[in-house]
Amino acid sequence: TFWQAIVWTLWSVALVTSIGRVILRHRIQGQFHADDYLALLGFIFLSALTAVVTVVTPIFEMERSYLLAAASNPLTPLPLPEAQFVAQTVKSLKLMFAQMLLFWSTLWAGKFSLLVFFRNMVIGIPKYMYIWWAVFTLVLLTYLACVLSNFLTCAPLDKYWSATGCSSPDDLKRSDASIKFATAADIFADFLVMLLPLRLLWTLQISRKQKVALGCMFSLGIIVIVFAFVRLSNVTKATSQAKTNPTTLANGPILLSLWSTIEAAVAVLVSNLPAFRSLLRTAGNTRRTNS
Protein backbone atom coordinates (compact mmCIF):
# COMPACT_ATOMS: atom_id res chain seq x y z
CA THR A 1 0.00 0.00 0.00
CA PHE A 2 0.95 3.67 -0.28
CA TRP A 3 1.59 4.05 3.47
CA GLN A 4 3.73 0.95 3.66
CA ALA A 5 5.75 2.19 0.70
CA ILE A 6 6.45 5.38 2.68
CA VAL A 7 7.38 3.37 5.79
CA TRP A 8 9.86 1.17 3.95
CA THR A 9 11.27 4.11 2.02
CA LEU A 10 12.03 5.87 5.31
CA TRP A 11 13.53 2.64 6.66
CA SER A 12 15.78 2.47 3.58
CA VAL A 13 16.95 6.06 4.14
CA ALA A 14 17.63 5.21 7.80
CA LEU A 15 19.63 2.18 6.63
CA VAL A 16 21.72 4.31 4.27
CA THR A 17 22.47 6.93 6.95
CA SER A 18 23.31 4.20 9.47
CA ILE A 19 25.73 2.55 7.05
CA GLY A 20 27.17 5.98 6.22
CA ARG A 21 27.68 6.64 9.93
CA VAL A 22 29.58 3.37 10.35
CA ILE A 23 31.80 4.04 7.32
CA LEU A 24 32.59 7.61 8.37
CA ARG A 25 33.46 6.68 11.93
CA HIS A 26 35.65 3.81 10.77
CA ARG A 27 37.53 5.82 8.12
CA ILE A 28 37.87 9.15 9.96
CA GLN A 29 38.16 8.13 13.61
CA GLY A 30 39.08 4.47 13.25
CA GLN A 31 36.84 3.44 16.13
CA PHE A 32 33.24 3.45 17.31
CA HIS A 33 31.87 5.17 20.38
CA ALA A 34 28.89 4.65 22.68
CA ASP A 35 26.73 7.08 20.67
CA ASP A 36 27.36 4.98 17.54
CA TYR A 37 26.23 1.79 19.25
CA LEU A 38 23.11 3.52 20.61
CA ALA A 39 22.27 4.89 17.16
CA LEU A 40 22.67 1.42 15.64
CA LEU A 41 20.52 -0.01 18.43
CA GLY A 42 17.87 2.52 17.45
CA PHE A 43 18.05 1.30 13.86
CA ILE A 44 17.65 -2.32 15.03
CA PHE A 45 14.56 -1.31 17.00
CA LEU A 46 13.27 0.57 13.94
CA SER A 47 13.78 -2.52 11.76
CA ALA A 48 11.80 -4.66 14.21
CA LEU A 49 9.10 -1.98 14.44
CA THR A 50 8.81 -1.72 10.65
CA ALA A 51 8.54 -5.51 10.34
CA VAL A 52 5.81 -5.66 13.01
CA VAL A 53 3.83 -2.87 11.35
CA THR A 54 4.16 -4.60 7.97
CA VAL A 55 2.64 -7.76 9.46
CA VAL A 56 -0.08 -6.10 11.51
CA THR A 57 -1.33 -3.43 9.06
CA PRO A 58 -3.12 -5.89 6.70
CA ILE A 59 -4.96 -7.33 9.72
CA PHE A 60 -6.00 -3.84 10.84
CA GLU A 61 -7.15 -3.03 7.30
CA MET A 62 -9.24 -6.21 7.17
CA GLU A 63 -10.82 -5.38 10.54
CA ARG A 64 -11.41 -1.78 9.46
CA SER A 65 -13.19 -2.86 6.27
CA TYR A 66 -15.42 -5.21 8.24
CA LEU A 67 -16.26 -2.62 10.93
CA LEU A 68 -17.14 0.00 8.33
CA ALA A 69 -19.34 -2.46 6.45
CA ALA A 70 -20.99 -3.72 9.65
CA ALA A 71 -21.74 -0.14 10.72
CA SER A 72 -24.00 0.29 7.68
CA ASN A 73 -25.21 -3.31 7.56
CA PRO A 74 -25.15 -5.29 10.84
CA LEU A 75 -25.70 -8.51 8.87
CA THR A 76 -22.37 -8.19 7.09
CA PRO A 77 -20.60 -11.58 7.31
CA LEU A 78 -17.18 -11.90 8.87
CA PRO A 79 -14.31 -11.85 6.35
CA LEU A 80 -12.95 -15.06 7.94
CA PRO A 81 -14.41 -17.98 9.91
CA GLU A 82 -15.23 -16.72 13.41
CA ALA A 83 -12.47 -18.63 15.21
CA GLN A 84 -9.87 -17.47 12.68
CA PHE A 85 -11.13 -13.88 12.81
CA VAL A 86 -10.87 -13.83 16.61
CA ALA A 87 -7.38 -15.36 16.45
CA GLN A 88 -6.27 -12.69 13.97
CA THR A 89 -7.74 -9.94 16.16
CA VAL A 90 -5.89 -11.20 19.24
CA LYS A 91 -2.70 -11.52 17.19
CA SER A 92 -3.02 -7.92 15.99
CA LEU A 93 -3.51 -6.65 19.56
CA LYS A 94 -0.42 -8.49 20.79
CA LEU A 95 1.63 -7.14 17.90
CA MET A 96 0.34 -3.65 18.59
CA PHE A 97 1.45 -3.93 22.23
CA ALA A 98 4.94 -4.98 21.12
CA GLN A 99 4.89 -2.27 18.47
CA MET A 100 4.50 0.48 21.06
CA LEU A 101 7.41 -0.85 23.14
CA LEU A 102 9.59 -0.91 20.01
CA PHE A 103 8.43 2.59 19.11
CA TRP A 104 9.44 4.12 22.45
CA SER A 105 12.72 2.17 22.44
CA THR A 106 13.59 3.48 18.96
CA LEU A 107 12.91 7.09 19.93
CA TRP A 108 14.84 6.93 23.18
CA ALA A 109 17.81 5.10 21.66
CA GLY A 110 18.16 8.13 19.40
CA LYS A 111 17.85 10.54 22.33
CA PHE A 112 20.47 8.66 24.35
CA SER A 113 22.78 8.57 21.32
CA LEU A 114 22.60 12.36 21.04
CA LEU A 115 23.07 12.75 24.80
CA VAL A 116 26.21 10.62 24.79
CA PHE A 117 27.47 12.53 21.75
CA PHE A 118 26.97 15.82 23.63
CA ARG A 119 28.66 14.39 26.72
CA ASN A 120 31.98 14.41 24.90
CA MET A 121 31.68 18.20 24.73
CA VAL A 122 31.30 18.70 28.48
CA ILE A 123 33.77 16.17 29.88
CA GLY A 124 36.10 18.04 32.19
CA ILE A 125 33.58 20.82 32.90
CA PRO A 126 32.06 19.86 36.30
CA LYS A 127 29.13 22.30 36.10
CA TYR A 128 27.96 20.96 32.76
CA MET A 129 28.58 17.35 33.76
CA TYR A 130 26.13 17.81 36.64
CA ILE A 131 23.62 19.27 34.21
CA TRP A 132 24.26 16.41 31.78
CA TRP A 133 23.58 13.79 34.46
CA ALA A 134 20.40 15.62 35.48
CA VAL A 135 19.18 15.65 31.87
CA PHE A 136 20.17 12.01 31.38
CA THR A 137 18.18 11.02 34.48
CA LEU A 138 15.09 12.93 33.36
CA VAL A 139 15.25 11.46 29.85
CA LEU A 140 15.60 7.95 31.32
CA LEU A 141 12.60 8.55 33.60
CA THR A 142 10.46 9.72 30.67
CA TYR A 143 11.32 6.51 28.80
CA LEU A 144 10.35 4.35 31.77
CA ALA A 145 7.12 6.36 32.16
CA CYS A 146 6.18 5.79 28.50
CA VAL A 147 6.84 2.06 28.77
CA LEU A 148 4.80 1.90 31.99
CA SER A 149 1.91 3.77 30.37
CA ASN A 150 1.75 1.01 27.75
CA PHE A 151 1.01 -1.50 30.52
CA LEU A 152 -1.55 0.71 32.28
CA THR A 153 -3.65 1.68 29.26
CA CYS A 154 -5.78 -1.45 29.47
CA ALA A 155 -6.98 -2.70 32.86
CA PRO A 156 -6.67 -5.55 33.57
CA LEU A 157 -3.79 -6.20 31.20
CA ASP A 158 -5.10 -9.57 29.98
CA LYS A 159 -8.11 -7.71 28.58
CA TYR A 160 -5.72 -6.39 25.97
CA TRP A 161 -5.51 -9.89 24.48
CA SER A 162 -9.29 -10.45 24.40
CA ALA A 163 -11.27 -10.52 21.16
CA THR A 164 -12.81 -7.10 21.81
CA GLY A 165 -9.60 -5.57 23.14
CA CYS A 166 -9.83 -2.34 25.12
CA SER A 167 -12.83 -0.81 23.39
CA SER A 168 -15.06 0.31 26.29
CA PRO A 169 -15.55 4.08 26.84
CA ASP A 170 -13.27 4.02 29.90
CA ASP A 171 -10.61 2.11 27.97
CA LEU A 172 -10.75 4.65 25.15
CA LYS A 173 -10.34 7.50 27.64
CA ARG A 174 -7.28 5.81 29.16
CA SER A 175 -5.87 5.13 25.70
CA ASP A 176 -6.36 8.75 24.67
CA ALA A 177 -4.78 9.99 27.93
CA SER A 178 -1.87 7.55 27.55
CA ILE A 179 -1.09 8.74 24.02
CA LYS A 180 -1.20 12.40 25.10
CA PHE A 181 0.96 11.76 28.17
CA ALA A 182 3.55 9.73 26.27
CA THR A 183 3.72 12.32 23.49
CA ALA A 184 4.21 15.09 26.07
CA ALA A 185 7.01 13.05 27.68
CA ASP A 186 8.57 12.49 24.25
CA ILE A 187 8.52 16.20 23.40
CA PHE A 188 9.78 17.18 26.86
CA ALA A 189 12.73 14.79 26.50
CA ASP A 190 13.52 16.17 23.03
CA PHE A 191 13.59 19.72 24.39
CA LEU A 192 15.94 18.65 27.18
CA VAL A 193 18.29 16.98 24.71
CA MET A 194 18.31 20.13 22.54
CA LEU A 195 18.68 22.69 25.31
CA LEU A 196 21.69 20.97 26.90
CA PRO A 197 24.18 21.68 24.07
CA LEU A 198 22.55 25.00 23.12
CA ARG A 199 23.26 26.34 26.61
CA LEU A 200 26.90 25.33 26.25
CA LEU A 201 27.16 26.63 22.69
CA TRP A 202 27.05 30.33 23.57
CA THR A 203 29.96 29.97 26.00
CA LEU A 204 32.28 28.52 23.34
CA GLN A 205 35.01 30.75 21.92
CA ILE A 206 34.14 30.20 18.26
CA SER A 207 32.90 32.39 15.42
CA ARG A 208 29.24 33.35 15.07
CA LYS A 209 29.06 31.37 11.83
CA GLN A 210 30.25 28.25 13.64
CA LYS A 211 27.77 28.85 16.46
CA VAL A 212 24.90 29.14 13.97
CA ALA A 213 25.98 25.94 12.21
CA LEU A 214 26.28 24.02 15.48
CA GLY A 215 23.00 25.51 16.73
CA CYS A 216 21.20 24.22 13.64
CA MET A 217 22.69 20.77 14.17
CA PHE A 218 21.71 20.73 17.84
CA SER A 219 18.17 21.87 16.97
CA LEU A 220 17.44 18.89 14.72
CA GLY A 221 15.20 17.51 17.47
CA ILE A 222 12.58 20.04 16.37
CA ILE A 223 11.97 17.81 13.34
CA VAL A 224 11.07 14.89 15.60
CA ILE A 225 8.85 17.16 17.73
CA VAL A 226 6.91 18.25 14.64
CA PHE A 227 6.27 14.63 13.67
CA ALA A 228 5.25 13.85 17.26
CA PHE A 229 2.56 16.54 17.06
CA VAL A 230 1.37 15.28 13.66
CA ARG A 231 1.17 11.73 15.01
CA LEU A 232 -0.75 12.88 18.09
CA SER A 233 -3.20 14.92 15.99
CA ASN A 234 -3.98 12.06 13.60
CA VAL A 235 -4.35 9.39 16.28
CA THR A 236 -6.40 11.36 18.81
CA LYS A 237 -8.72 12.58 16.07
CA ALA A 238 -9.82 8.98 15.55
CA THR A 239 -10.35 8.25 19.26
CA SER A 240 -11.95 11.60 20.15
CA GLN A 241 -14.61 11.22 17.46
CA ALA A 242 -15.49 7.66 18.50
CA LYS A 243 -18.65 8.72 20.36
CA THR A 244 -20.11 10.85 17.56
CA ASN A 245 -18.78 8.73 14.69
CA PRO A 246 -17.83 5.20 15.83
CA THR A 247 -16.49 4.29 12.37
CA THR A 248 -13.56 6.67 12.86
CA LEU A 249 -12.35 4.41 15.67
CA ALA A 250 -11.54 1.78 13.05
CA ASN A 251 -8.86 4.10 11.68
CA GLY A 252 -7.10 4.43 15.05
CA PRO A 253 -4.86 1.33 14.99
CA ILE A 254 -3.77 1.94 11.40
CA LEU A 255 -2.96 5.60 11.99
CA LEU A 256 -1.13 4.80 15.23
CA SER A 257 0.99 2.11 13.54
CA LEU A 258 1.92 4.12 10.49
CA TRP A 259 2.62 7.46 12.16
CA SER A 260 4.58 5.76 14.93
CA THR A 261 6.83 4.13 12.35
CA ILE A 262 7.26 7.38 10.45
CA GLU A 263 8.22 9.31 13.60
CA ALA A 264 10.61 6.52 14.67
CA ALA A 265 12.32 6.54 11.26
CA VAL A 266 12.72 10.32 11.41
CA ALA A 267 14.20 9.99 14.92
CA VAL A 268 16.82 7.53 13.64
CA LEU A 269 17.70 9.89 10.78
CA VAL A 270 18.08 12.82 13.17
CA SER A 271 20.28 10.82 15.55
CA ASN A 272 22.58 9.91 12.64
CA LEU A 273 23.00 13.38 11.15
CA PRO A 274 25.52 14.74 13.73
CA ALA A 275 27.89 11.93 12.74
CA PHE A 276 28.18 13.54 9.29
CA ARG A 277 29.59 16.77 10.72
CA SER A 278 33.12 15.45 10.12
CA LEU A 279 32.28 15.00 6.43
CA LEU A 280 31.13 18.63 6.20
CA ARG A 281 34.23 19.79 8.07
CA THR A 282 36.46 17.84 5.68
CA ALA A 283 34.66 19.34 2.68
CA GLY A 284 35.09 22.83 4.15
CA ASN A 285 38.80 22.28 4.69
CA THR A 286 39.16 21.02 1.12
CA ARG A 287 37.49 24.15 -0.28
CA ARG A 288 39.75 26.42 1.78
CA THR A 289 42.82 24.48 0.62
CA ASN A 290 41.78 24.71 -3.05
CA SER A 291 41.14 28.43 -2.74
Dump the DSSP string for 17-60. HHHHHHHHIIIIISS--HHHHHHHHHHHHHHHHHHHHHHHHHHH
pLDDT in the model for residue 247: 63
Find the radius of gyration of the CA atoms of the chain. 22
Residue 220: inside a domain, yes or no?
yes
Residue 22: inside a domain, yes or no?
yes
pLDDT in the model for residue 267: 93
- Residue closest to 7 by CA, chosen among 270, 272, 266, 273: 266
Residue 287: inside a domain, yes or no?
no
CB 190 within 8 A of CB 111: yes
pLDDT in the model for residue 288: 40
Distance from C-alpha of 42 to C-alpha of 139, rounded to nearest angstrom: 16
pLDDT in the model for residue 281: 54
CA distances from 262 to 60, 107, 118, 126, 277 (A): 17, 11, 25, 38, 24
pLDDT in the model for residue 117: 87
Please list, in sequence order, all residues whose beta carbon lies within 8 angstroms of the beta carbon of residue 154, skipping any fewer than 6 positions away.
Answer: 160, 165, 166, 171, 174, 175
Distance from C-alpha of 68 to C-alpha of 79, rounded to nearest angstrom: 12
Reduced to 3 states (helix: H, G, I; strand: E, B; else coil), residue 227 is helix
**10-residue block means of pLDDT along the chain (291 residues)?**
85 94 86 91 97 92 86 86 88 90 96 90 83 94 93 78 71 81 92 82 71 75 88 76 63 85 93 74 44 41
Residue 184: inside a domain, yes or no?
yes
Range(s) of the domain holding residue 92: 2-272
pLDDT in the model for residue 284: 43
Neighbouring C-beta atoms of residue 236, cutoff 10 Å: 18
Residue 93: exposure state from Cβ atoms within 10 A (0-12, 13-18, ≥19): buried
Residue 281: inside a domain, yes or no?
no
pLDDT in the model for residue 286: 39
Distance from C-alpha of 14 to C-alpha of 19, rounded to nearest angstrom: 9
- Residue closest to 49 by CA, chosen among 112, 109, 137: 109
Residue 219: inside a domain, yes or no?
yes
Residue 185: inside a domain, yes or no?
yes
Residue 277: inside a domain, yes or no?
no
Distance from C-alpha of 61 to C-alpha of 2, rounded to nearest angstrom: 13
> Could you give the number of structural domains in the chain?
1
pLDDT in the model for residue 37: 94
CB 33 within 8 A of CB 287: no
